[in-house]
Amino acid sequence: TFGGFKWEKNSLTYRIENYTPDMSAAEVDDSIERALQVWAQVTPLRFTRIYNGIADIMISFSRQAHGDGYPFDGPGGTLAHAFAPSTGIGGDAHFDDDEDFTFSSNRGYVLFLVAAHEFGHSLGLSHSDDPGALMYPIYSFSNPETFVLPQDDVNGIQSLYGANEDPVEPRPTAPPTPNACDSTMTLDAVATLRGEMLFFKDSFFWRSYPQSATPQQTRITNFWPNAPVNIDAAYESQQSDRVLLFKGRQVWAFSGYDLVSGYPKPLSSLGLPKTTKKVDAALYDVASRKTLFFVGSNYYSYDEAKETMDEGFPKRVDETFSGMSGKVTAAFQYRGFTYVYSGPYMFEYSLRSGRLFRVLRNSYFLRCT
Amino acid sequence: APLSQINQQDESFAKNYLKTFFNLTEESGPTVRRGFNPAAVKLMEMQRFFGLQITGTLDTDTLAMMKKPRCGVSDQKVARFS
């Protein structure tokens, strides 16, 4: 919060002073109304629209300098700003009309999402450092039709105003941002990227630098805007300097931040059978330059140089990885050792001998800080 | 994943970013404080807030984060409202 600044009343007024040309007036009205309801659903706050005079929350679209001492900066950069609760300019929300606002498209900035964030400020919330929170300062697209206020934001606003005594039932709950300290967590995928380790879970991933004790958590789409979330598997092809992400029957390839032209492609483009519904895990073996794809209780070997599947596959996982009787959920290679995950456990192998050295937990590489 | 090399324009952009969102103030006059670089301190604050690697220098990851579309309210919580 901004040091506890809050409205001393639960009934607030708002007024839309003008409209953006990017959307119809009805779409703006609807976006603003729903953005306020995001907060009303979890607090005793209620909002009434007025059409003239001074409202608690005055809403406007403007460009560059617009009279509050905080000029906008043209397209990109700052999208909007708002002022903490107080009289006068307090509570007001300004939107940069040099941006391209939209009703629901992922091209442009969804006004509902930007407004819901700004109204958090109007009600007294500062920024959150939880990358999954609405109050995180960086814009991230999500579908406005399925939006649910994340728990971090619920906690923040309820610390100021308390809970809604008359909640809409059943009250939707947002999945919490994955926590590296959750010892029961099953990672979706693990991969390397130019010396870093990437740990994927839900819409997020952690980047872990060998020289840093603190992993950095990011939304997948903040790093790769065209990437899928809730992925099944991932690996770094050191042969092609790409990261490949798998979800369902498709594979995406990224070079740096960019989706490689022609992707996503079907799994069959990698030589997997057309009947393959998903890849559970993938790892690139530096020594052989082969990639292993784990599918159910079997695995395949893909030759990165020849871009063909090796003969003699699939093989049973436990044929090569002794003691691996459970489902493989993630896999990667680091410093010559092969790590195969099954649930919250990680099995350390020598790929050459198939020998199992240790059974470890997620926290061995993904540190709880 | 590396972006292009950081150039003078990026450094100027980063300085403006820190002024806007982390209350970086430029010192003027003859005062010299040894071992204290306000821009590096603010950069570390920014890197800490976003969970980036804390280097105190403008690296490609930090610059990429600065260039993302964002809310215009300062991340130094009270700066704008004090």
* Inter-chain CB proximity A138 and B68 less than 8 Å: yes
* Number of other residues whose CB lies within 10 A of the CB of residue A262: 8
Nearest to A20 by CA among A12, A9, A31: A31
pLDDT over 50 (residue B46):
yes
Query: Strand, coil or helix: what is B17?
Result: helix
Residues 6+ apart with CB under 8 A from A271: A300, A302, A308, A309
To which residue do tokens 């500062």 refer? A126
Query: What is the band of B82 on the pLDDT scale with cuts at 50, 70, 90?
Result: very low
Chain A contact present for B52, CB below 8 A:
yes
Q: What percent of chain A has pLDDT over 70?
A: 98
Q: Which of B38, B37, B65, B71 is nearest to B51 (CA)?
A: B65
Mean pLDDT across the stretch A114-119?
A: 98
- Least Cα separation, residue A312 to chain B (angstroms): 36
Query: Inter-axis angle of helices A151-161 and A111-123, to 10 degrees?
Result: 30
Compute the distance between CA of residue A219 and CA of residue A217 in angstroms, rounded to an integer. 7
Query: Residues of A with catalytic annotation?
Result: 118
- The verdict on a CB contact (< 8 Å) between B69 and A109 is yes
* Interface contact A3, partner B, CB < 8 A: yes
Chain A positions touching B73 (Cβ under 8 A) are 81-82, 121, 126-127, 137
- Better pLDDT: A110 or B53: A110
Residue B76 has pLDDT above 80, yes or no: no
Chain B: residue nearest A141 by CA?
Answer: B69
In DSSP terms, A80 is beta-bridged to: A95, B71
pLDDT at position B3: 45
pLDDT of residue A171: 64
For chain A, the average pLDDT equals: 93
- Candidates A82, A193, A216; nearest CB to B73: A82
Residue A117 contacts residue A125 (beta carbons within 8 Å): no
On whether any CB of chain B is under 8 Å from the CB of A194, the answer is yes
HEC profile for chain A?
Answer: CCCCCCCCCCEEEEEECCCCCCCCHHHHHHHHHHHHHHHHCCCCCEEEECCCCCCCEEEEEECCCCCCCCCCCCCCCEEEEECCCCCCCCCCEEEECCCCEECCCCCCEEHHHHHHHHHHHHHCCCCCCCCCCCCCCECCCCCHHHCCCCHHHHHHHHHHHCCCCCCCCCCCCCCCCCCCCCCCCCCCEEEEECCEEEEEECCEEEEECCCCCCCEEEEHHHHCCCCCCCCCEEEEECCCCEEEEEECCEEEEEECCEECCCCCEEHHHHCCCCCCCCCCEEEEECCCCEEEEEECCEEEEEECCCCEECCCCCEEHHHHCCCCCCCCCEEEEECCEEEEEECCEEEEECCCCCCEEEEEEHHHCCCCC
B32/chain A closest Cα distance in angstroms:
30
Indicate which of A138, A242, A254 best probes the interface with B, i.e. most B CBs within 10 Å of its own CB: A138
A125, closest residue in chain B (CA to CA)? B77
Closest-CA distance, A212 to chain B, in angstroms, reads: 7
Flag if A139 and B69 touch (Cβ within 8 Å).
yes
pLDDT in tens, A16-69: 999 999 999 999 999 999 999 999 999 999 999 999 999 999 999 999 999 999
For A258, the closest chain B residue by CA position comes to B1
Confidence band (pLDDT; 50, 70, 90) for B1? very low
- Pairing type for strands A337-342 and A345-349 reads antiparallel
- Reported as a single tens digit per residue, the pLDDT across A242-252 is 999 999 999 99
Is there a contact between A366 and A348 (Cβ–Cβ < 8 Å)?
Answer: no
Structure tokens at B74: 């300062």
Residue to substitute from A81, A109, A206, interface B, most B β-carbons within 10 A: A81
Give pLDDT, residue A246: 97
Of B2, B64, B72, the CB nearest to A80: B72
Confidence of residue B29 (pLDDT cuts 50, 70, 90): low
Give the integer Cα–Cα distance in Å for A3 and A154.
17
In angstroms, the separation between the Cα of residue A259 and the nearest Cα of chain B is 13
Over chain B, what is the mean pLDDT? 81
With an 8 Å Cβ cutoff, are B1 and A194 in contact?
Answer: yes
Contact by Cβ (8 Å): A192, A334:
yes
The DSSP call for residue B9 is H
One-letter amino acid for residue A101 of the chain: F
Chain A nearest CA to B18, separation (Å): 13
Question: Strand A109-110 to strand A101-102: parallel, antiparallel, or no bridges (unpaired)?
Answer: parallel
ipTM of this complex: 0.86
- The token pair at A108 is 């442009």
Q: Are strands A57-62 and A11-16 parallel, antiparallel or unpaired?
A: parallel
Per-residue pLDDT tens over the stretch A5-20: 899 999 999 999 999 9
Place of tokens 């700052």: A78
Give the pair of three-digit tokens for residue A11: 């009934």
Between CA A124 and CA A161 the distance in angstroms is 10
DSSP letter assigned to residue B70 = E
Q: What is the pLDDT of residue A167?
A: 72
By Cβ distance, the residue of B20, B69, B73 closest to A76 is B69
- The widest CA-to-CA distance across chain A, in whole angstroms, is 78
For A222, the closest of B21, B68, B77 (CB atoms) is B68
Residue A348 has pLDDT above 70, yes or no: yes
Q: Which of A2, A77, A216 sits opposite B52 (nearest CB)?
A: A216
